Structure 1
Amino acid sequence: MGFPGTWMTESESMVYRVVPKCACSTIGQIMYYSDHGAFFDGDIHDASKGVHKWAQDHSQGPISANVKAHTSFAFTCVRNPYTRILSSFFDKICGIQRNGRRYRNNLVPMLVQKYGVEVGGADGSDDFDQIKSFRRFLLFVRDTIRFRKPMDPDIHWSAMSGHISTFIVNGGRYDRIFWTERFNDGMQSVLDAVETPHPVDLSAIPRFNESEGHGPKRAHPVEDYFDDLSMHLMYEIYHRDFRLFRYDFETPGNKMPVGEIDLDEVHAKLGE
């Protein structure tokens, strides 16, 4: 299986396991800048050179050798499951993607038809009941993850622990897992642990939120989207994410972590 979703700087200063919707665009651009002294011109997910990615055949050998030998500092980044799934809904379901089309072509029409989800019209600009539509989307998410119907789960809403575990199961080990909610502290701790060809001043780095503006703005506080049933579904889908990465399941409005991540526990639980 190898190391899907894994990126590495060409200088092999650091290895990163991508977790969708968790600052991956910004982290990828920081990695690119640390090697080249300039940002990639465009969405870093489209870069086919300048950074090693497992999806590129020529990168698999170097990544595999590095990770198995634990030659470089390896890290990843996580996000509160409540805000992550909301971000996936507004970006991927309600938004028009950068190619000018809906995400995964027939996905949204299927959600409209089978689950009664509204997305704000053809371009996402019409008013609609965001709370009702999100809760119906969440039922769909549960169905994809629990029953793999009507489709396999998408990387943007499959559990973070699932993404992170593939790296461990196949022989990798993380040196750091940090939170998007404390991004500067976490990313700085990575940069402090490595030597890069070009110095990175984190305070001068812009945030590369490639999904910004794709969909309608969230109209309500986070907690308004999650009633008792929604929270039950969230726990069913993401209970490992809440526990391992120390997020507050009981309080959807509290996006901040409530404890420290135990790397040994993460490796033990996700390496099984």
Structure 2
Amino acid sequence: MGFPGTWMTESESMVYRVVPKCACSTIGQIMYYSDHGRFYDGDIHDAEQGLHKWGIESSQPAIEANVRAHRSFAFTCVRNPYTRILSSFFDKICGIQRNGKRYRGNLVPMVIQKYGIEVGDPENGFEFDQIKSFRRFLLFARDTIRFRKPMDPDIHWSSMSGHISTFIVNGGRYDHIFFTEKFNEGMQVVLDNVETPHKVDLSKVPRFNESEGHGPKRAHPVEDYFDDLSMHLVYEIYKSDFDLFRYDFEDPANKMPIGEIDLDEVHAKLGE
């Protein structure tokens, strides 16, 4: 199976396991800058050179050799499951993608038809009942993850534990896992542990939010989207994410972690 979702600098200074909706655009750009002294012009997910990616066949031998020998500092980044699934809804279900179309072709029409959600459109200023539609989307996300129906789960709402585990199961080991909510603090730990061709000053790095501005703005506080049933569904889908990465299931309003991540526990539980 190898190391899907894994990126590595060309200088092999660091290895990163991408977790969608967890600052991956910014992290990729920092990696690119640390090698080349400039940011990639465009969405880093589109870059086919300047960064090793598992999705690029010619990069696979270099990534595999590095990760199996643990030659470089390896890390990933996580995010509160409540804000992550909300972000996935607004970006992938409601938003217009950078190609000017809806995400994954017939995905959105299918969810509208089968689950009765609304997504709004740019012409009407994305006016729709966000809370009602999000809760119906949550049922759809649960069905894809638990029952693989009406489709397999999408990478943007499948669990962080699932993404992170493939790296461990196939022979990798993380040196650091940090929180999107404490981004600069966590990314600085990475930079302090690696030698890069170009020095990165995190205070001067812009946030590369490639999904911003293509869909509706969130109209309510996070907690308003989650009633008792929604919280139950979120816990059913993301129990291991809450437990392993120390997020507060009881309070959707609290996006901050409530403890530190135990790397040994992560490797033990996700390496089974």
Assess same fold via TM > 0.5. Answer: yes
| Aligned-residue offset at 1:127 | 1.2
Q: Deviations over 1:35-57 (max 9, x none)?
A: 00000000000000000000001
CA contact (8 A) 1:36 1:197 kept: yes
* 1:15 match: 15
CA distance in structure 2 between the partners assigned to 1:13 and 1:121 by the alignment: 43
| Aligned-residue offset at 1:200 | 0.4
Q: Deviations over 1:90-114 (max 9, x none)?
A: 0000000000000001011111111
* 1:44 match: 44
CA distance in structure 1 between the partners assigned to 2:177 and 2:4 by the alignment: 17
CA contact (8 A) 1:95 1:124 kept: no
- Aligned identity (percent) is 84
TM superposition score normalised by structure 1: 0.99
Q: How does 1:39-188 map to 2 (within 5 A)?
A: 39-121=39-121, 125-188=125-188
Instruction: Say what the alpha-carbon RMSD is for the aligned residues.
Output: 0.8
CA distance in structure 1 between the partners assigned to 2:12 and 2:140 by the alignment: 40
SS of residue in 2 equivalent to 1:4: coil
SS of residue in 1 equivalent to 2:8: strand
SS of residue in 1 equivalent to 2:41: coil
| Aligned-residue offset at 1:126 | 3.2
CA distance in structure 2 between the partners assigned to 1:184 and 1:70 by the alignment: 24
| Aligned-residue offset at 1:234 | 0.4
Q: Deviations over 1:158-181 (max 9, x none)?
A: 000000000000000000000000
Q: How does 1:122-271 map to 2 (within 5 A)?
A: 125-271=125-271
| Aligned-residue offset at 1:123 | 5.5
* 1:5 match: 5
CA contact (8 A) 1:124 1:215 kept: no
Name the count of aligned residue pairs. Answer: 272
Counterpart amino acid of 1:145? Answer: I
CA distance in structure 1 between the partners assigned to 2:172 and 2:39 by the alignment: 28
CA contact (8 A) 2:139 2:233 kept: yes
| Runs of 4+ with >4 A deviation | none
Counterpart amino acid of 2:127? Answer: D
Counterpart amino acid of 2:230? Answer: S
CA contact (8 A) 2:122 2:215 kept: no
TM superposition score normalised by structure 2: 0.99
Q: Please list every run of 5 or more consecutive structure 2 residues that lacks an aligned counterpart in the other structure.
A: none
Counterpart amino acid of 2:91? Answer: D
CA contact (8 A) 2:93 2:103 kept: yes
CA distance in structure 2 between the partners assigned to 1:44 and 1:186 by the alignment: 20
Counterpart amino acid of 2:243? Answer: R
Q: Please list every run of 5 or more consecutive structure 1 residues that lacks an aligned counterpart in the other structure.
A: none
| Aligned-residue offset at 1:214 | 1.5
